[in-house]
Amino acid sequence: RKFLGCINHKRIQATNRNCEVTADVRHDGSEPLVDVMFADGDRLIMKGANLTTIEMLTALGSKCNAKQLKEEQKTKK
Domains of the chain: 1-75 (3.40.30.10)
User: In angstroms, rounded to a whole number, what is the distance separating the alpha carbons of residues 66 and 47?
Assistant: 21
Q: Mind listing the pLDDT tens digit for each residue in 42-77?
A: 999 999 888 999 999 999 999 989 988 988 888 876
Between β-strands 33-37 and 43-47, what pairing exists: parallel, antiparallel or unpaired? antiparallel
| Predicted local distance difference test score (pLDDT) of residue 62 | 93
56: burial class by Cβ within 10 Å (0-12, 13-18, 19+)? buried
pLDDT at 55: 94
pLDDT digits over 5-47, tens only? 888 888 888 887 778 888 888 888 888 888 888 888 899 999 9
Q: Are 53 and 6 in contact (CB under 8 A)?
A: yes
Q: How many residues does the chain have?
A: 77
